[in-house]
Amino acid sequence: MDSATEGAIFLFRSMTGFGRSEVVYDWGTVVVEVSSVNHRYSEISVRLPKELARLEPQIISIVKANSSRGKITVRLDVRWSAQYSVPTINKNVLEGYIRDLEEISETFSLGCDIRLEHLLTLPGVLEPPLQNKETIFEDVAKALTGQVESALVNWNEMREVEGSHLLGDVLKYVQELEKRLVNIARTWDFVKEKALADFRERIETILAQQGVEADESRIIQEIVILSDKWDISEELDRLDSHMKKLRELLYEKAFVSGKKIDFLLQEINREINTIGSKASDSDIRWEIVEAKASIESMREQIQNVE
């Protein structure tokens, strides 16, 4: 862990992850794979063997309990044991066919060979595997849901590891953004007096050109009216509040919603844009460019957070 995240208490989950579970039972082998990628909303897809399709709602419910958004695919495969997948030969039926065919051949002097491949096509010789799995369905359902939960544990572990990397990157950009905002505030403290003096001078000049006496109260009134177009003090105050909230979210002791952070970054970006439209100082405008780059980098990372 780098210095940006040292000592932090945080829980980030990436939307990208993979988990797998495989267990052998008496009736077959269960393989469950869970994979996910980024998605604005929650989209869950379950791929099951046809005979187990009824379990889909239950599996979706389990996955929903472990995620809030992302495109998630659950692939579940069952490799049934021989008794449920391989046909068997009914020896009694086969023996009966052979005995009858030999008797018919002798009676009518047919003299034909009896071949096994022909016998196997006769009704009742080959018995299908136990197609009716209802007798073990409850055991199978319990095993499958258990394996889905195991795969989800692995999936979440991978997403949390990736989430810690995402947070490390985000905190670096937060530090960079805070540095830019401090520079903007310091520069504003220096230039606002000059800006105020320039406005006063311009107002006095305009009034003089119109032949109006420069009354102090009138000048103050005009400055107040125009200040909304050049004063960035309120935007800086709101940014300070937003940044404190951002820090709180990043250091929460519970899993953090990427969507919530993204909304807050939108608000921060809106204030930055407003400052950019008001400020005329070249140093402030350059800091605005750098601040917007940090915000955009953060949002790219946050798009991966659940």
Greater pLDDT, 295 or 197? 295
Burial of 28 (0-12, 13-18, 19+ CB in 10 A): buried
Mean pLDDT of 251-276: 88
DSSP label at residue 41: S
| pLDDT tens track for 159-172 | 999 998 998 899 99
Q: What is the pLDDT of residue 2?
A: 44
Average pLDDT estimate for 269-293: 92
Q: Map out the domains of the chain with their CATH numbers.
A: 17-85+133-161 (3.30.230), 88-126 (no CATH), 164-303 (no CATH)
Q: Tell me the per-residue pLDDT of 70-117, one tens digit each, with 9 for 90 and over.
A: 999 999 999 888 777 767 777 888 788 888 887 887 777 777 777 777
Pairing of strands 70-80, 42-47: parallel
**Angle (nearest 5°) at CA 242 between 239 and 246:** 135
d(CA 203, CA 302): 47
Residue 207 to residues 35, 49, 136, Cα–Cα distance (Å): 71, 85, 95
> How high is the pLDDT of residue 187?
92
Q: For the whole prediction, is pTM greater than 0.75?
A: no
Tokens representing 115 are 């071949």
Q: Write the pLDDT tens digit of every residue in 18-35.
A: 999 999 998 899 999 999
Helix count and strand count (H, E) for the chain: 9, 6
